Amino acid sequence: MTLPTRQIGPFTVSAIGLGCMNLSHAYGVPPGEAEGIALLNRALDLGCTFLDTAALYGQGNNERLLGKAVMHRRSAFTLASKCVLDMIDGKRALDGSPAAIARTLDAALQRLGTDHIDLYYLHRLDRGVPIEESIGALVRAKEAGKIGALGVSEMSAATIRRAHAVHRLAAVQTEYSPWVRNAEIAVLDACRDLGIGFVAFSPVARGFLAGAVRSADYAAGDIRALMPRFVEPALSRNLALAARFDAVAAELGCTPAQLSLGWVLSRGDDVVPIPGTGNIAHLEENLAAATMSFDAGALVTVDAIFAEGAVAGNRYPPAMQAQIDTETYADEIAP
């Protein structure tokens, strides 16, 4: 099968990609290896040609899963992964030094079972290392043939411009959905000024706009239990917004997840959402949104539901927010 395509730097990819994190961690117990392998291959069968992973996910196990599951189909997809955030001695570590980037990349290539990653991101900004030095490490990796293009994740417009001045960026990845709009402050404009593609992670709001959250009864290991928007006192207010959003989807005859993805796709042809899931039925539902049309008036209604100030709670708790460089709104915790 084929899906509509969009351009991210030098890569032509399916209009909706697949964020692979869910297959290894973050939202409770992940699916088993066999289920993960089946889902990844089903994604390729359905025409999804953009797979996104990272060294951090599952302490490297997500990259191992991709290596085992789909590397025999390497020509069928664009592979993206990330460095700087990693697990060292069982603990999450942030290290943007050139030496750490080189180590993470070499380990990633081994785990993935390949000698080349198409798109390699700095996962977060290490404020203790000049961005120029971190980008320089990626430039050397590109010159060595280990990566094809450079990207950055959750960085501000100012940092993006500094990075791009060292070497052209192919992509910027940032959380973006109807209820997370920080990229609209400055990042989207910077990407368009510089000709950089935009990759939207969590485009269905970590499942909140897919009907997956109706209470704070999260499984052990679910990171949403730590996020202010997903727990009380903010949760009840946000569930009222979700009910209004679900009603718009019902009127259109689509699922809430499809409406959220349709909204993200409508923000520009340079925007590629990468929803994640551990469920094949949800995968099929998500990818179907790439072929659907969404009423312009309904998308305006979605804008109104999630107008600035409507959503209660910050994106991240303070410790996680400290690693986010993307601009914040006035009522959010700033880095």
3-class SS letters over the chain: CCCCEEEECCEEEECCCEECHHHCCCECCCCCHHHHHHHHHHHHHCCCCEEECCCCHHHHHHHHHHHHHCHHHHHHCEEEEEECEEEECCEEEECCCHHHHHHHHHHHHHHHCCCCEEEEEECCCCCCCCHHHHHHHHHHHHHCCCEEEEEEECCCHHHHHHHHHHCCCCEEEEECECCECHHHCCHHHHHHHHCCEEEEECCCCCCHHHCCCCCCCCCCCEHHHHCHHHCCCHHHHHHHHHHHHHHHHHHHCCCHHHHHHHHHHHCCCCEEEECECCCHHHHHHHHHHHHCCCCHHHHHHHHHHCCCCCCCCCCCCHHHHCCCCCCCCCCCCCC
Q: What residues contact residue 237 under an 8 Å CB cut-off, 6+ apart? A: 312
What are the tokens at 112? 């993935």
C-alpha separations of 185 from 7, 31, 98, 152, 188 in Å:
23, 36, 30, 17, 8
The answer to whether residues 216 and 230 touch, using CB atoms and an 8 Å cutoff, is yes
Question: Is 57 marked active-site?
Answer: yes
- Tell me which of 27, 57, 120, 176 is the catalytic residue: 57
Name which of 188, 304, 314, 319 is nearest 247 in CA terms: 304
* Residue 299, amino acid: L
Provide the annotated active-site residues: 57
